[in-house]
Structures are given as structure tokens and as C-alpha cells.
Amino acid sequence: MKKSTIAWHKEDVTRKWYVIDAEGVVLGRLATKLVELLRGKGKTRFTPHVDCGDYVVVTNVDKIKLTGKKEEQMAYYHHSGYPGGLRKQTFAKVKAEKPEMVLFESVRRMMPMNRLGRAAIKKLKLYVGTDYKETAQTPEPLVLPKYEGLR
């Protein structure tokens, strides 16, 4: 008798809440972990066509680290669609004005570019300080390794 894989339906999904302190964590490593949690890829019954991810609250997003010379070299580009409409912002300027945008853009660009990705990114909550509004959901703390420089 042939065994078949059981896929989740959106009614069967149980979601957890996690809180992550981003102080001293490398941006890329944090973003990949967030995408894994938001999509539900770490779950045993991951189904690609169902939004089976968890909610994630990230605090201290203004204290994220970058390795190497990325702080000086990294830039964000936006084009208005008109000739000569290319706009460039340095990483330092974006981090000073809107520090949550740095992490949000990193996670958004790793998500699938469809309605499933748009639904999953809404489960990401970013905060500059240590305080957050989602205390009633009792999120579990999730500890990520800090960046300690060259060894």
C-alpha cells in the first residue's frame, strides 16, 4: 500500500509567538532565521502553498551588526520610474532615520514574491527599543548567537 504525505490546510495550523532580541546579532543571519520562522519551514509538516508560519517580535533592531565594510559600502536604491529618478541612500542614513526598515527590507526580499509572502511578512513585528505591545500573547524568547568579531 502506498503512503501519501499529509499536507496542512490553513485551518489546521497552530501558530506560536516568538520574541527575539536583535542586539549584537548579524543582519543576514537574523533575516534568514526570521524567514524560516515566518514561513514555517522548521515545522515537520511544512506545506509550501499554506501560510503555516509563526509570529515573530524583534526588539532592539537599531543595534543590529554588519560584518566587514558593509556599513560604509551598502546602499539602498529606489527608482521613481522617470528618467533620472534613481535615488540612493546609504546604510548609515537609513539606519539613523528608520532602523526597522533595514531588517524589514532584508526579510521582505528573502520572502516569496506572491500573496503568500505578503501574508507572512505581516506576522513580523519590529521595535527599536526593548518594549513591545504583544505581551498578551506571551511570546517565547528565542536566543540567537551574538556577533563577536574575528576569532
Go through the domains of the chain in sequence order and give each one's CATH number.
17-142 (3.90.1180.10)
Residue 140 CB: number of other CB atoms within 10 A? 11
| H/E segment holding residue 106 | helix 99-110
- Exposure string of 85-116, with b = 16+ CB inside 10 Å and e = fewer, is eeeeeebeebbeeebbbbbbebbbebbeeeeb
The mean predicted confidence, pLDDT, of the chain is: 92
Question: Would the pLDDT of 1 be above 90?
Answer: no
Question: Would the pLDDT of 150 be above 70?
Answer: no
Distance CA 57, CA 143 (A): 12
pTM of the complete model beyond 0.85 = yes
Strands 17-21 and 55-59, by their bridges, are parallel
